[in-house]
Each structure stands twice: as C-alpha cells, then as structure tokens.
Amino acid sequence: MQSKEFFSALDAMALEKGLTTEEIVKDLEEALAPAMKKVSGEAKNMRVELDAEKGTIRLFSYQTVVEDYYDEMDFDKEITLEDAQRVRKDAKVGDVISQEENIKDFGRVAAITVKQVLQQKGRERVRNATMAEISAHEDKIVTAMVRKQDGEKYYLEIPESKIEGVLDERNSIKGQNFKPGDFIKVYIPTVKNMEDRSEILVSRVNPNFVRKLFELEVPEIEKGEIEIKSIAREAGYRTKIAVATEIMNLDPVGACVGAKGVRINNVLREIAPEKIDIIPWSEDPLEFVSAAISPSPVLRVEALAEEKHARVIVPNDKLSLAIGKQGMNVRLAAKLTGWRIDVKSEDKAREEDASFAYELNLGE
C-alpha cells in the first residue's frame, strides 16, 4: 500500500516533536502489528514494514513450519510443511514463513491506532528523556533560579534542563524566604520514576544537602581524603556530622572548619539559622558517643546490657546542654551514632549507681 500523504504527515509530526521520521517509523513498526493483530480477532504473529523513501506500508503475518497437522496445532502461528512449500518451495520444518496481508483490511484500524501509538510512544520518549536528563543531576546540588512563587511553593529553573524544580514548604528551611530572580542551591534526590511529570521536587532539608555543601566547600572531602561517616539533621535547627581520615597529620574537623572558619561559615550561611556540630568519628563506639554529645563535656560513657545502648554522664550544670532544647542534642547524637543514649547528671548517676558514686568519692 502506498501512502505519500501518510509519510508527509509523519514528517510534519517528527518536525513538531523534534524527532526524526525514522524514529517515528520505528515506533509505528513496533506497535502497529500487535494493534492490528488484536483488532483482527486472530492470534497471528504480525509485522509492519514502513518505507519512508518509497512511501509504502506493508503488513506481514508469519508462521512456523511444522511437519504435519496435529491435534493441538495453533493454526494462527503454525503452518504445515506441505502448505508452507506452496508459499516457498524450499521451506523446511522449523522455518518461519511470512505472508503479506491486505493492509486495506486494516485501514480504519491503522488510522485510529496511529494516533494512539504516537501519543503513547511520545509520552515514553518524553519520560525517558526526562529520566536521562534528571539522572545527570541526581544526588547533587545545583544552583537554580527562582522563576515564581506560589504561596509557600517555589518554582525553579534548573540549569541545562527542561525540567522544572519545585521547592515546597516541607522541603524548605523554616524562616528562609526567596523572591523571583534569586539564585539558590537545592539538592536533587534520586528519582525512581518521573512518570509523565515535567517537574521534580527538590530539597534544602535533606541531610544530603548539608553533605553536598561540605563536599563543595572542603576539597579534602571531594578528593576522598576525608570521609563523612554519618550525618544527622533537624533542618533549620541543628546538624551533626561525623568525619574521619586515614591520612596522618590531617585534622578532619579542622579541615571542615577551614582557616578562620571560612569553610564552615560558607555552609552555615546557606542553611542559617541552623547550627552545625562537626564530630570526629571513632572506631570505639563509646568514644564516638561521647564526642557526639558535643557541645556538652562528658564525665563518663557506659555501655549498658542492651545492644547499642549507652549511658552518658555529664556535669550537673551541663545536663540541659547535653540533652538540648526539646531533647534535640541527644536525639541527633543517637541518630549520628546509631546508639540509644541515656543522659544522666552527675548527681543522678550517683543516686542510681553506688559503684559510680564510690569511684567519684575516691577521686575527690
């Protein structure tokens, strides 16, 4: 069947969608055959061949050659050797025999199906292109421009991307406000499926936002000389970050702070009014727990009978500092270390534990 008008329409459609005619033809070849097969009411295997240069559309059904008729033979997909040799004299058992169908029988079906197929394939191409595009930005910080604000939601232009970033209230740091034209840093999380969306939720509250800010500010982290072992965050309030290195004479905490605090101050400016505690990681879990209670001094850390459960004893006047406002400091320390932490004042520990009180008295 010849249809120059059909292929002219495909050319126009390809131009409109930014595709090549060959891409659209391939989509149609893959999808028209099963569509026609379904409408025909048969279970035949079918193949469509479109030749854009000749302007032809051809439809083939194909069957596998079997020796002879048998009880459960599938006549739509199988053909006997005798019948096959009428089509092709050199046919033998196991060959696949193609026979051209009259495509005019499917003309109305084809017209309806073409539109459906192109719409479906178009959505798939957009989705695949979107996923490929966003994968280049996943798990990274980008500097995006605020395009517009709608209530508590910001719409952002992501550089080198057609995808729109959306920063909503739950992904924003409380108290921070922006206006159209502002450039802000946002974290793009890993996306499993964009579906048909052309926008993606970005974040400034994800713990990885702080992690990536440190990677930007501290070359030793970016080069792998310093490792961020763990991070715990309550966005807008406080972050604890544990760092370590295997390089002698390299202070991981000092490197993250930077000369005169320049590195950490750059991070703090981005997440203000949030505070940051940089904790030296230790292989000794009790030592790590002790450091994680910073900024409070610690008198003693004890591992309790329950797995990963520790009691931390602090000076009487530092109890509130160790626990933090509404328990935030000890809660973040627990998240950072993976240990359950009970904080006790010196006096409370003396009451609860006679052996501890005896040790303290010996030291007095």
Which helix (H) or strand (E) is 191 found in, with range?
none
Do 274 and 189 belong together in one domain? Answer: no
Are 37 and 95 members of one domain?
A: yes
Of the three residues 80, 115, 133, the one that is the final residue of a domain is 133
Chain centroid to CA 170: 18
Sign of CA dihedral 74, 78, 82, 86: positive
Q: CATH number of the domain that 344 lies in? A: 3.30.300.20
Residue 39's pLDDT is what? 58
CATH number for the domain spanning 64: value is 3.30.1480.10
Residue 121 domain boundaries:
4-133
Residues 43 and 84 in one domain: yes
For residue 62, the one-letter residue type is Y
Instruction: Clarify whether residues 129 and 57 are in a common domain.
Output: yes
pLDDT of the residue at 362:
45
Do residue 301 and residue 319 come from a single domain?
A: yes
Q: What is the pLDDT of residues 152-196, one digit of tens each?
A: 999 999 887 778 889 999 999 998 999 999 999 999 987 765 555
Is the distance from CB of 220 to CB of 192 less than 8 angstroms? no
Predicted structure pTM score: 0.67
Domain shared by 242 and 335, yes or no: no
| 297 and 273 fall within a common domain | no
- Answer yes or no: do 226 and 190 share one domain: no
Q: Determine the Cα–Cα distance for residues 330 and 234; give it in Å rounded to an integer.
A: 12
CB burial of 189-210 (b: ≥16 within 10 Å; e: otherwise) equals: bebeebeeeeebebbbbbbbbb
* pLDDT value of position 35: 62
- 64 plus 117 within the same structural domain: yes
Burial class (CB in 10 A: 0-12, 13-18, 19+), 125: middle
Same domain, 44 and 92: yes
304 shares its domain with 252:
no
CATH of the domain at 194: 2.40.50.140
Residues contacting residue 219 through CB under 8 Å, at least 6 positions apart: none
Quote the strand ranges of the chain, DSSP E: 45-51, 56-66, 78-80, 96-101, 140-150, 153-157, 164-167, 183-188, 199-201, 227-234, 238-244, 275-280, 300-303, 309-314, 340-345
Among 157, 173, 201, where does a domain finish? 201
pLDDT at residue 92 in the model: 93
Instruction: Report the pLDDT value the prediction gives residue 56, as an integer from 0 to 100.
Output: 78
Asked which of 114, 133, 152 is the last residue of a domain, the reply is 133
First to last CA, the chain: 104
* Positions in the chain short of pLDDT 70: 1-6, 17-18, 29-44, 103-115, 117-118, 126, 130, 192-198, 354-364
Whether 264 and 318 map to the same domain: the answer is: no
216 contacts 141 by C-beta, under 8 angstroms:
yes
pLDDT of amino acid 355: 60
- The predicted pLDDT at position 363 comes to 45
Q: Please give the pLDDT value at position 364.
A: 43
